[in-house]
Structure 1
Amino acid sequence: MGKDKIADDFRTPDGVSADVVAFTMVPHENVSVRRNLPDYELKVFLVRSDKGMWKLPGQVIDRYVSLDDMATDIVKELTLTTDPYIEYVGQCSDYTDDSGAWIIHHSFLSVIPYHQLDDFRRQDDPKSVDLFSIEQLDKLDIFPNHRKIIDSVYEYLQRIILITDIAKYFLTDTFTIAELVRNLQVVAPNFKPDNVHQKFLKTSKRGGILEGVIDAEGVHLKSDKYSQRSALLFRFSGQTPELSIY
């Protein structure tokens, strides 16, 4: 048995990286005489490598920094936000990076509210980092392993957006039911908004993931920003139901 074969059999990874798939929901205003909801578009942050290819924001960590801290710092620096939502999704190690090194990739999901990206959009050098829709990824020169990570995390997002309150990070603090439903459908196209009021709302007898926005006089506030008639405003209540298959 050759030395190269022995070395290959006992090879250890060359590094461990934190790779962040950060999404935001970009609203495109509907130019119309009638007031309508914007056309929302889910987009992911990518950065341009020294070789000109697009890749996920990420970094190989050192032993003095935890994965979670590294991922959080990456998102803060990328988006210029102070308190981003981020969660660990998983790891993959079945391929090398562009240099041929064997890297253990740990993927994270982050969701950034678009209205918090004012500083990001004012950056002087937009060519080094940009936002792309899922459909645009097919036309990009992107690292293949990073595309696999994006697809995996996107599938994860499509699952959890229907069983958690993570949708609140795509919205402003207050919103209408129509805005929430439209955002859910953009992320998870198969979502069917049947009886959403009954499913979402908090009542005197049970908790709900949404509650009405009530002013000091007890009046439920409304908005006509995206509709001809004023629609009730809601916010997330902070409660999420416990799920069980039994």
Structure 2
Amino acid sequence: MGEITNVMEFEAIAKQKLPKMVYDYYASGAEDQWTLAENRNAFSRILFRPRILIDVSKIDLSTTVLGFNISMPIMVAPTAMQKMAHPDGEYAIARAASAAGTIMTLSSWGTSSVEEVASTGPGTRFFQLYVYKDRNVTIQLVRRAERAGFKAIALTVDTPRLGRREADIKNRFNLPPHLSLKNFEGLDIGKLNKAEDSGLASYVAGQVDRSLSWKDVQWLQTITSLPILVKGVITAEDGKQRTIFLSFEALG
């Protein structure tokens, strides 16, 4: 295999190497995948407007996020179940993000736990979180992230219901039996019959609270001192709502 020179080449190689069920899980979107295609089209419409006769002999892409220094305005987004692609999974991503001088956001549905990711060495890490019907589960996850040294909570708010992923339905997707959602092992999540075909992954997905509202963001603030990022703001209207919400918070 020759040297990879373009990010898009990774997708072609992954399609060759990964089992179809795993590749489809990572690569596909919901239903007709219209949003997936539109996201790519929208990104392609972002153009540079280069200015000439500017000294570019020294280029500095570094910036800060929540006061943390990063080498470039790029962070690692949370992706679930990374060990389906490679045995190192989240370990490798954590080490790579640290080496690149940027922030990794660990999916709460990771196949490595917050403690395991923290054990890979130094690095700034955020923890992606859903709010669950059982608030005790949410509290336990937040506490573990805090103890493991994670620096912020990235609260996912744009999936009150998970998308109908047709590729996963056709493939009868399930987490391979040798893997598990590590952040949920040992948690008090009530009775769960692991012998069922649905397994832990499907159970956890079904426990996401569909009634999530701004009041739950306020509640989350009461259980952690970590900064809370609202992940999934798509419209300007919701951005304004966030500004109003923060203004009321400041008024006390």
TM over 0.5: no
More strand by share: 1
TM tier, smaller: under 0.3
* Higher normalized helix content (fraction of residues): 2
